[in-house]
Structure 1
Amino acid sequence: MGEIILLRHGETAWSRDGRHTGRTDLPLTDEGRRQAKAAGALLGELPAGTPCWTSPAQRAVETAKLAGLEPDGTDPDLWEWDYGGYEGITSAQIQTQRPGWFLWRDGVVPGGPAGFPGETVEQVGERCDRVIARVLPLAAEGDVVLVAHGHLLRILSARWIEQPPVHGSRLKLDTASVSRLGFEHEIRVITGWNQVG
């Protein structure tokens, strides 16, 4: 069995500033491009033709290419959590209106100037389940690489180990980090987490 290798995209201006960045399609910063190149060294020597999919967001596609990957395409299920009316806002700003607010427990509100409908953590978990169902047969043949976003990959990892999506809240994930999901005695496990170059 292979591993599912997860690469979070490099830094953007909003990720640097702690702003919720779901569907807004921002480019990498200069630091994000440096991080993406450094992440390539953490991926090791992947065989030519290793399956790789990215989120449709330019920050994920660019990270993959700078890391030396050759994506097979984009997967809309790898988009980041749709933060609805909290898109582009920091947690501190939200807490001025909703004291004690915590994304993983309290969720998002719909709307905002960009008109994003928003998603629950369970809805993101359903998208992650679809991704896992698609890549699991490929992992039987070798490694698979997914390049996406912080919260999405945390939820996907929780679902990989058959935990509720909200358990992703306990998995910190830095920009341009590499993590690995695999197997031990046919049980799905996390084999490496949050490595940064």
Structure 2
Amino acid sequence: MGDLLLIRHGETAWTVDRRHTSITDLPLTAHGEQQARQLTAPLQALDVARVLSSPRTRATHTAQLAGLPDPHICDDLREWDYGAYEGLRTADILRRRPEWNLWRDGVPAGTDQPGESPQEVGARADRVLASLRPDLDSAAGIVIVVGHGHFLRALAARRLGLPPAAGSLFRLDTATVSRLGTEHGRPVVAQWNESRDHPARDVRQEADRSVGPKLPGQRKGLHFK
């Protein structure tokens, strides 16, 4: 089975302010562009079978700057629809609803946005995975998906056979690369939330070092220098 690489878009003005951003189509900041360019070197050596991106500018521009110039645009990769909470910080929402939890409660509809529940986001993630299954099953190369924080976390959860709400367990920073591989035919987390600013260990290789030599056919992790 092939690996699935998840890339979150680079920094925007609203990620700096920690505002919920779904349909608002913000550009990358100058730092966000720099973050995206820093992904180029570790991605160059990969045998890539397919690249998909959210339609939002912050995702497609990240892909282009990272050396992935012609991704297939997939509308199901758009960010969680934040409905009435678009543009708000979590702290703002909690002042209104102290017990609110995105991963449990979802968001209510706004004037121009319907909002989404965790189940609806999970259904979108399942559609994406179903469309990628032939590529992932063939092991012809790595499949790369460029998208958004909350949706990619839900996508990872569903790839691992977990409910969408389990995405709450996976922190995902801007312009990071995460890799879902396989072990004994089952999806596993191989690397997570790695970037030049957030170096991370290759989870699978760390485990292998503790039990024996590298397994035949095992892929190396991405490395940021």
Residue number in structure 1 paired with 2:118: 121
| Alpha-carbon shift at residue 105 of structure 1 (Å) | 2.0
Equivalent positions of 1:65-80 (< 5 A) are 65-80=64-79
List runs of 5+ in structure 2 lacking aligned partners.
197-225
1:194 and 1:72 mapped to 2: Cα distance? 21
| Alpha-carbon shift at residue 42 of structure 1 (Å) | 3.1
Contact preservation (8 Å) 1:40, 1:68: yes
1:106 equivalenced with 2:105 (yes/no): yes
Instruction: Indicate the larger mover: 72-81 or 133-142.
Output: 133-142
2:42 and 2:192 mapped to 1: Cα distance? 12
Contact preservation (8 Å) 1:42, 1:196: no
Instruction: Give SS of 2:39's match.
Output: helix
Cα deviation digits, residues 92-123 of structure 1 (max 9, x gap): 111111113221122211014xx111010110
Contact preservation (8 Å) 2:105, 2:117: no
Identity %: 51
TM-score, normalised by the number of residues in structure 2? 0.83
Q: Which amino acid counterpart does residue 132 of structure 1 have in structure 2? A: L
1:18 equivalenced with 2:31 (yes/no): no
Residue number in structure 2 paired with 1:155: 154
Runs ≥4 in structure 1, deviation > 4 angstroms?
none
1:109 and 1:42 mapped to 2: Cα distance? 40
Greater Rg over alpha carbons, structure:
2
1:38 equivalenced with 2:45 (yes/no): no
Residue number in structure 1 paired with 2:3: 3
1:165 and 1:121 mapped to 2: Cα distance? 6
Asked which structure has the greater RCO (Cα within 8 Å, sep 6+), the reply is 1
Instruction: Give SS of 1:11's match.
Output: coil
TM-score, normalised by the number of residues in structure 1? 0.94
Q: What is the alpha-carbon root mean square deviation over aligned residues?
A: 1.2
Q: Which amino acid counterpart does residue 188 of structure 1 have in structure 2? A: P
Q: Which amino acid counterpart does residue 31 of structure 2 have in structure 1? A: E
Contact preservation (8 Å) 2:83, 2:114: yes
| Alpha-carbon shift at residue 40 of structure 1 (Å) | 2.1
Cα deviation digits, residues 59-95 of structure 1 (max 9, x gap): 0000001001133320000000000000000011111
| Alpha-carbon shift at residue 177 of structure 1 (Å) | 0.2
